[in-house]
Amino acid sequence: MDETSMWIGGAWTGASDGATGEVLDPSSGEVIANVPKATLADVDAAVAASRAAFEDRSWAAMDPAQRGRILQKMAAVTYAEAKNLATIESRNNGKTFREALSEIRYGAWTLEYFAGASDKIEGSTIPVPGNRLNYSLRQPLGVTAHIVPWNFPLQLALRSIAPALAAGCTVIAKPASWTPLSLLAWAKAIDEAETGLPSGVLQVITGSGGLIGDALAGHAGVDGIVLTGGVPTGKAVMAKASERLTPVTLELGGKGAHLVFPDADLRTAAKAVCFGIFMNAGQMCWAGSRLIVHEDVHDDLVEAIVAEIGKWPVGPGLSEGVRMGSLVHTSHRDEVLEKLNAGLAMGGEVVLGGAAMSDDHPAGAFMQPTVVTGVTEDNLLFTEELFGPVLAVTTFSEESEALRLANATEFGLLNGVWTQHLGRAHRLARDLQCGMVSINEYPITFPQTAFTGWKMSGIGVEQSLDALRFYTRVKNVNVKI
């Protein structure tokens, strides 16, 4: 069993009261580590370290190109350690090694991208009346707190850490209590590599999400909050942050839909639909959990999906050939099954899966890939985020009906369109009420493209140069000449 520490002020430390919490391998239920359970005093220490590092200007006032070079070194360390980090994350999260490795390399790519953006943060000169010089500056926001989810523990941490550091901010990262190990291991690798990152610029603090998240959201020493998580958590953090008018970026839930038309390449669509809902056992905010398919190709597409899933072995993430690992925790798996059964009571037919895999993995958080047809728009399987490997299938007959069904949700993150009709594709891209649309592939995202949600899917932008705006403040300067 591993004993881990938090990284605060450039030092590795336990909780101030010595308390620790167990971390499990969800595929077996085995305890694999003990991590510190931070106290409110530890939160204060992390904020103080971040504030001191920001105020001493060693990072905020550093030549931006030099900040970029340090981020490039951090990216190189991440690439070099990717296989080790992926092994840790697969064991701690339950996902396959293949998935974890791809995600961690994506995180390294994100560091590279924002390394190049460090010296691209620009102000502007504004024409004003009279003999005046008027210009604006973009200056670092300050101390930023990053509340990281358990579904992509390292990739999503780096998604927000990278632009924050590029902008000159300092960072306090709080991993989910179920999955802290890969972020801690990454921080250890960065520390040991001597990248040039000044002491106190980056902290990693572990413990209760409710206690630590609430404390960070309401802390007087925190200038910005970034959270990826569920809608209730996002609302709670936003409410707490509003007490001090602390700005927030929230990436929350989703109920993504595939809109599949008769002219679509059904073989390609079937593969993408499976990837978009059964990757990471369906535990993705951008999961394509709704399949809205034209009635003329419904049977053929469902048959192709069921055949494709037959090629997806389910098992422990570090096992050879496995395509879908366990869910993150047995309690979460049970919540998914409870919602599934509640939805089935409202209608629908299970054509694949629908149960836990207790016989094959009695102590693991495994669930069968599940496909439910005949789901109506008033069914919770259509409206609510299950965050598990459950695909709800609904039919349509007209393009307008497909659009209405896709938009009939409180979420608005990512939707997919499958058609060879150019006009239809662009009409739907325009009219879908979501932050991202993917046409004839799913999912797809890059560090240089905006990741953003509408409606209850969140506030703000992750990735792309637009993300940098959150981590800077605008200052206007007027000079009488």
Q: Give pLDDT tens digits for 217-275.
A: 999 999 999 999 999 999 999 999 999 999 999 999 999 999 999 999 999 999 999 99
Q: Which residues of the chain are modeled with pLDDT < 50?
A: 1
Confirm whether 274 is a catalytic residue.
no
CATH class of 2-252+457-480: alpha beta
Query: How far is the C-alpha of 371 from the C-alpha of 306, rounded, in Å?
Result: 8
* 3-state SS string for the chain: CEECCEEECCEEECCCCCCEEEEEECCCCEEEEEEECCCHHHHHHHHHHHHHHHHCCCCCCCCHHHHHHHHHHHHHHHHHCHHHHHHHHHHHHCCCHHHHHHHHHHHHHHHHHHHHHHHHCCCEECCCCCCEEEEEEEEECCEEEEECCCCCCCHHHHHHHHHHHHCCCEEEEECCCCCCHHHHHHHHHHHHHCCCCCCCCEEECCCCHHHHHHHHHCCCCCCEEEEECCHHHHHHHHHHHHCCCCCEEEECCCCCEEEECCCCCHHHHHHHHHHHHHHHHHCCCCCCCEEEEECCCHHHHHHHHHHHHCCCCECCCCCCCCCECCCCCHHHHHHHHHHHHHHHCCCCEEEECCCECCCCCCCCCCECCEEEECCCCCCHHHHCCCCCCEEEEEEECCHHHHHHHHHCCCEECEEEEECCCHHHHHHHHHHCCCCEEEECCCCCCCCCCCEECEECCEECEECCCHHHHHCEEEEEEEEEC
Query: How far is the C-alpha of 330 from the C-alpha of 26, rounded, in Å?
Result: 7
Report the CATH architecture of 257-446: 3-Layer(aba) Sandwich (3.40)
Q: Which residues contact 185 (CB under 8 A, 6 or more apart)?
A: 81, 84, 85, 88
Beta bridge partners of 228: 251
Given the residues 99, 251, 308, 384, select the one marked as catalytic: 251
Name the one residue in this structure whose structure tokens are 């469902």.
Answer: 302
Confirm whether 285 is a catalytic residue.
yes
Residue 469: Cβ within 10 Å count: 17
pLDDT at 359: 83
pLDDT at 444: 86
Q: Which two tokens stand for residue 6?
A: 């938090």
Q: Which two tokens stand for residue 19?
A: 């308390």
Name the one residue in this structure whose structure tokens are 């293949």.
Answer: 98
The domain segmentation of the chain, as residue ranges, is 2-252+457-480, 257-446
Residue 191: Cβ within 10 Å count: 18
Q: Which two tokens stand for residue 127?
A: 């024409």
Pick the closest to residue 9 from 72, 67, 56, 77 (CA basis).
56
Q: Which two tokens stand for residue 305?
A: 């999906």
Given the residues 81, 99, 274, 285, select the one marked as catalytic: 285
Q: Give pLDDT tens digits for 25-39.
A: 999 999 999 999 999
Handedness of CA 106, 108, 110, 113 (dihedral sign): negative
Is the pTM higher than 0.85? yes
Query: How far is the C-alpha of 413 from the C-alpha of 411, rounded, in Å?
Result: 6
Query: How far is the C-alpha of 27 from the C-alpha of 317, rounded, in Å?
Result: 8
Contact 444/456 with Cβ under 8 angstroms?
A: no
Q: Which residues contact 242 (CB under 8 A, 6 or more apart)?
A: none
